[in-house]
Amino acid sequence: MSGYITLSEGPFSYPIDTVCSGPAATCTEDLDSDGCTDVVCAANDRLKWYENVGGTGTDFVRHMIYSSFDGGAVSTADIDDDGDPDVVSASWYGQQIRWFENPQGSSPWPSHLMASGYSSAQSACSADIDGDGDQDVLGTSFYQNEITWWENTDGSGTDWLEHKIDGNFEGARRVRTYDIDSDGDIDVIGSSDLNGVVLWINEDGSGFDWTELAIAPGYRMSFALHMTDIDWDGDVDVVSVSAYEENLMDRPTHF
């Protein structure tokens, strides 16, 4: 399957890449620190980034991050705390969570395997779960029904400890983070096929004591998850979309 990566602006769209096999996910970040936002794309054949030359969004140069990628999700964070954004990925078929070290202009991107055999990895993002100042990584495994975080033990991104948040999150899809209860630590929100949308409160900020709260248990097959203040009342809300037609939930919803 091939596809397009497109930049949309109002009624207009601009192709970034027209030769892309199975594009699965994108995110944006200024990867080369030139002040212009670039685009990262996870596809079935490659993990690539597109340099936004001049910052106009009309001229992109394609760069390879990882040539053995096989579909999944992608996000960015400064994993090794050297001041530049790195790339974190989940690969469905490869069953892996990896992060890729930003080489800042040189090539290739050093690849760091964090988890293998993580069956049908669906999502990966980063946050400081244990509050020690470095970026940890979170992921979901669809077939293992897991939502997991990996502790960045020395802050360099070279040594990771795996911690399960929930092992019965059936059909786990997406994971996001936010300090939902405003107590200064990072909480976790997940979406799934069978358990809907769930919040885990980080009770003591250590990442080892979680209280599970259902946000929308009937919101099944929720493939997307975002956090934003949708009603402008000062607190963050959850936006999701479900493919579960029985509940007529096949439209974007916020909670």
Site for Ca ion in 182-241 (CB under 5 A): 183, 185, 187
Nearer to Ca ion, 13 or 156 (CB): 156
Using rule CB under 5 A, residue 30 touches Ca ion: yes
Cα gap 98→96, rounded to integer Å: 6
Q: CB 122 → Ca ion: shortest distance, Å?
A: 22
Cα gap 161→82, rounded to integer Å: 21
C-alpha distances (whole Å) from 174 to each of 31, 72, 107, 159 are 24, 11, 30, 24
Residue at token pair 């939902």: 180
Nearer to Ca ion, 36 or 194 (CB): 36
| Under 8 Å between Cβ of 75 and 124 | yes
Of 60, 65, 94, 136, the one binding Ca ion by CB under 5 A: 136
Using rule CB under 5 A, residue 38 touches Ca ion: yes
Of 29, 70, 84, 193, the one binding Ca ion by CB under 5 A: 84
DSSP 106-168: SS-PPEEEEESS-TTEEEEEEE-TTSSSS-EEEEEETTTTEEEEEEESSSSSS-EEEEEEES-
Cα gap 206→254, rounded to integer Å: 29
Q: CB 159 → Ca ion: shortest distance, Å?
A: 12
Of 179, 203, 212, 237, the one binding Ca ion by CB under 5 A: 179
48: which 2 tokens?
């690539």
Using rule CB under 5 A, residue 128 touches Ca ion: yes
Q: CB 208 → Ca ion: shortest distance, Å?
A: 12
- Give CA 228 to chain center in angstroms: 15
Cα gap 148→177, rounded to integer Å: 12
Of 21, 34, 54, 156, the one binding Ca ion by CB under 5 A: 34
Q: CB 245 → Ca ion: shortest distance, Å?
A: 34
Site for Ca ion in 137-176 (CB under 5 A): none
Task: Please tell me what DSSP assigns to residue 53.
Answer: G
Q: CB 143 → Ca ion: shortest distance, Å?
A: 27
Of 27, 45, 57, 132, the one binding Ca ion by CB under 5 A: 132
Using rule CB under 5 A, residue 80 touches Ca ion: yes
Q: Which residues make up the interface to Ca ion (CB under 5 A)?
A: 30, 32, 34, 36, 38, 78, 80, 82, 84, 86, 128, 130, 132, 134, 136, 179, 181, 183, 185, 187
